[in-house]
Amino acid sequence: MAGFDVRLYATAALMTLLIFASIYSLNMFFESQREQYVTEQMNEIVDDFEEIETAYYFMDLVAQQNNSCDILKSELDYLESRLWVLDGRIKSYRDITKDFANDEFYIREKKKLNRREVIHLAMLSKLKKTCNYNHTIVLYFYGQCEQNRRCDEQGYVLTYINQNIDPEISILSFDADRNISAVDSLIKLYNVTEYPCVVVEGHTHCGLHTSDEMMALMCQYSPSLSICK
Amino acid sequence: MNVLHVTLVYVVWFLVTFFFLVSALTFLKHRQQFYVIPPSTEGTPFVSIVVPAFNEEAGIADTIESLLEIDYPKNKLEIIVVNDGSKDRTSEIAGKYAAEDKIVLINNEKNMGKAASLNIGFEKARGKYVACIDADTVTQKDVIKKTINYFKDEDVAAVIVRITVRNPKNWLEKIIAVEYNLGLGFYPKIFSSIDCMYLTPGQFSIYRRDKVLAIGGFQVGNIVEDLEIAYRFQKAHYKIACCVMTGASTKVPNNLRDLYHQRKRWYSGTIQTLLQHRDVFFNRNLGNFGLFFIPFNYGTTALGLLLFFSTTYLFFSNAHMVYSDLSLINFDIFPSIKNFITHMALDPLSIGMLSLLAVTPFVMNLMACYVGMKMMGEKIRKNLFGFVAFLFFFLPYHVFWIIALYFVVLKKKVRWRASM
């Protein structure tokens, strides 16, 4: 038999395993950092929400003051932009770590995010009534996205619309798969029968909508939007 | 598909990393001998040089001239040109040298193929050692003196030398110049030190005549006869030595069409030869060659091709999704681009496991190429383009492998060159 250098191959195999272990450890570190980032961002948002919730409960009390609506409006705008960014970050982390979709941490943070969106909706609606705030609210319900790519497609269209007319509208998205009682109530309230489904100013339209169709719907229910002129 | 793709990424990563580390450790262990030439004990034995030529009017004169300038006693050197039924002026050009008794010219009445021409040259050769050179290749003057001493080891059946690209000018030649420096110089030197040489390059190699004849000469009809004979050397437990202190320069394809035909021939021939000599896989009697080099090298190539398929599928699948998304917004991509640029943030946390696994082989290859070029005495900045482009040239090579596989599976005839 010709030469076979067992020691050479054993050393190379050991080094291969060591490199793999290093990469795996680095990935675990990144993963923990990703979770830490999401947790920190979520905690900050929860803090901000608690602050604005306090203001919300005092809204009736401070309604007489002229600047209270402006303060709340700017706060809500700020929080909405942060929710939007955090939602995007959670989605991109889900894509990096495929197991994230079934990960307890991911599910927990998604639930938290959805609850914040519900609170945000409640405050926004109150703001519209109390302060006569001319603002269009679009609710977006999605579910079973692993099998239903139309959810991602609708999300893409709504992101595009949000980029174009951000200050005039609020798009709030709700994950129907998370068993959140408030979201389930909204689903019943707006008679959401399939996913994706959008509710524009209280009017339900299920199925996938292109950007043109979405803008037509928004102009139908909010003719004062700048894109409708 | 995703599960298959991820599995392939892991498996190919392990194979590539292991193969790289074996190469790196072998190099480190034998680097002191990298430039060492065995001391002279052979004296000046008679050496024959066989030049098979088919339609080589463009280069045959340069080849013969370079052989005539070889620094070796003229009475111990013969040059045999085997004109393999050329339809151009090859016979006429070589004939002039033959008329002056500078070479021996053999004219095949009809084209018989390179392997048959080499065998004819070997039969005619008087030398104990016979060098074979392509008719578009020129040698360094010391090519015989520096290789002949390797034969003092009686097990050495062939000595290969460093093959470089002759006057690389255009972009493709510059990329191939880097490839040759590594693939026909640096790596053969490493693998020869653990008896894993799988090739005696047709451009120039020198053989021990009796060992070639003992295994039946070159295999007629094989389109990669220089690879096939190396497998039979391995099976006969003969050694193939490598000398990087001398070499030969050859013409290489300077356009994609010629490259396509060359690689189709090389890779189809490799697959056919592997099928013919499939008993080398995991052959304990062949030691490093049978248990490591062949299974790992070609296993990685085969799984790499599957990974290439799955990556290509996923790429087009994602491209289709992007197209589908864009169609929903009337392809108005500028707001998205503007938003992306506005919110662009370098997020190191966005690096996932697969990206980390993909980066390491690339870094390892970069390191190997850098060290290889340095060891071959090449200045990277003189051919920076070729160096960088070579790192990405595995993509078209995968396509050539797939085409070669297609030709072999469908038993299509592969021509020697595009213009035949």
B350-379 pLDDT, tens digit per residue, is 778 888 898 999 999 999 999 999 999 999
Mean pLDDT value of segment B233-246: 96
d(CA B128, CA B238): 16
Regarding whether A128 and A138 lie in a shared domain, the answer is no
Q: What is the mean pLDDT of chain B?
A: 92
Compare B328 and A78 and report the one with higher pLDDT.
B328
Interchain pair A20, B332: CB under 8 A: no
Percentage above 70 pLDDT, chain B = 96
CATH code, A148: 3.40.30.10
Provide the pLDDT for residue B343. Answer: 65
Interchain pair B332, A93: CB under 8 A: no
- Is residue A83 within 8 Å of A113, Cβ to Cβ? yes
Q: What is the distance in angstroms between the Cα of B6 and the nearest Cα belonging to chain A?
A: 11
Mutate one of A97, A163, A213 to test the B interface: name it (highest B CB count within 10 A): A163
d(CA B147, CA B256): 34
Using CA coordinates, name the residue in chain B closest to A153. B325
pLDDT-based confidence at residue B192 (cuts at 50, 70, 90): very high
Regarding whether A153 and A194 lie in a shared domain, the answer is yes
Cβ-based contacts of B328 with chain A (< 8 Å): 153, 156-157, 208, 210-211
d(CA B185, CA B242): 8
Provide the pLDDT for residue B99. Answer: 94
- Residue at which a domain ends, from A111, A132, A153: A132
Which own/partner contact pairs does B349-355 have at CB distance under 8 Å and 24+ positions apart?
B349/A30, B349/A33, B349/A34, B349/A37, B349/A93, B350/A92, B350/A93, B350/A96, B351/A30, B351/A96, B352/A27, B352/A30, B352/A96, B352/A97, B353/A23, B353/A24, B353/A27, B353/A97, B354/B6, B354/B9
Compare B311 and A64 and report the one with higher pLDDT.
B311
Cβ-based contacts of A164 with chain B (< 8 Å): 335
d(CA A210, CA A43): 35
Cβ–Cβ contact B317 with A under 8 A: no
d(CA B303, CA B404): 15
Provide the pLDDT for residue B394. Answer: 83
User: Which of B 281-310 lie inside 8 A of A, CB atoms?
Assistant: 284-292
Q: What is the distance in angstroms between the Cα of A100 and the nearest Cα belonging to chain B?
A: 12
Regarding whether A138 and A128 lie in a shared domain, the answer is no
CA within 13 Å, CB half, A134: 6
Instruction: Say which of A4, A13, A152 has its CB closest to residue B288.
Output: A4
Mutate one of B231, B349, B350, B357 to test the A interface: name it (highest A CB count within 10 A): B349
Mean pLDDT value of segment B125-136: 96
Mean pLDDT value of segment B336-343: 73
Regarding whether A128 and A15 lie in a shared domain, the answer is yes
Q: Which two tokens stand for residue B120?
A: 């004819």
Burial of residue B147 (CB within 10 Å: 0-12, 13-18, 19+) is: buried
Write out the residue range of the structural domain in which residue A141 sits: 134-229
- Residue at which a domain ends, from A132, A151, A169: A132
Regarding whether A82 and A28 lie in a shared domain, the answer is yes
Mean pLDDT value of segment B83-105: 94
- Is residue B290 within 8 Å of A7, Cβ to Cβ? no
Q: pLDDT (tens digit, 9 = 90+) per residue, B168-190? A: 999 999 999 999 999 999 999 99
Interchain pair B349, A156: CB under 8 A: no
Provide the pLDDT for residue B207. Answer: 98
Regarding whether A127 and A138 lie in a shared domain, the answer is no
Mean pLDDT value of segment B75-92: 95
| Spans of chain A below 50 pLDDT | none
d(CA B242, CA A114): 67
Q: What is the distance in angstroms between the Cα of B395 and the nearest Cα belonging to chain A?
A: 24
Interface of A with B (CB under 8 A): 1-5, 8-9, 11-13, 15-16, 19-20, 23-24, 26-27, 30, 33-34, 37, 85, 92-93, 96-98, 149, 152-153, 156-157, 159-160, 163-164, 208, 210-212
d(CA B92, CA B88): 9
Preceding amide of B201 cis, omega within 30 = no
Instruction: Say which of A19, A98, A163 has its CB closest to residue B335.
Output: A163
Provide the pLDDT for residue A49. Answer: 67
Domain count across chain A: 2
Provide the pLDDT for residue B276. Answer: 96
Provide the pLDDT for residue B257. Answer: 92
Statement: residue B420 has pLDDT above 50: no
Regarding whether A142 and A119 lie in a shared domain, the answer is no
Regarding whether A67 and A42 lie in a shared domain, the answer is yes
pLDDT-based confidence at residue B105 (cuts at 50, 70, 90): very high
Regarding whether A139 and A126 lie in a shared domain, the answer is no
Provide the pLDDT for residue A135. Answer: 84
What radius of gyration do chain A's Cα atoms show? 23
Cβ–Cβ contact B56 with A under 8 A: no
Instruction: Say which of B25, B195, B349 has its CB closest to residue A11.
Output: B25
- CA-based end-to-end distance of chain A: 86
Instruction: Say which of A8, A85, A93 has its CB closest to residue B25.
Output: A8
Interchain pair A96, B357: CB under 8 A: no
Interchain pair B351, A1: CB under 8 A: no
Using CA coordinates, name the residue in chain A closest to B352. A96
Interchain pair A153, B325: CB under 8 A: yes
Statement: residue B147 has pLDDT above 70: yes
Cβ-based contacts of A23 with chain B (< 8 Å): 353, 356-357, 360
Which own/partner contact pairs does B61-64 have at CB distance under 8 Å and 24+ positions apart?
B61/B93, B62/B138, B63/B133, B63/B134, B63/B135, B63/B136, B63/B137, B63/B138, B64/B94, B64/B97, B64/B102, B64/B103
- Residue at which a domain ends, from A113, A132, A151: A132
Provide the pLDDT for residue B419. Answer: 53
Regarding whether A208 and A104 lie in a shared domain, the answer is no
Regarding whether A98 and A140 lie in a shared domain, the answer is no
Cβ-based contacts of B338 with chain A (< 8 Å): 163
Regarding whether A38 and A100 lie in a shared domain, the answer is yes
Instruction: Say which of B17, B285, B338 has its CB closest to residue A16.
Output: B17
Using CA coordinates, name the residue in chain A closest to B194. A3
Interchain pair B17, A13: CB under 8 A: no
d(CA A79, CA A45): 7
Between A and B, how many residue pairs show a Cβ–Cβ distance under 8 A?
102
Provide the pLDDT for residue A130. Answer: 77
Cβ–Cβ contact B41 with A under 8 A: no
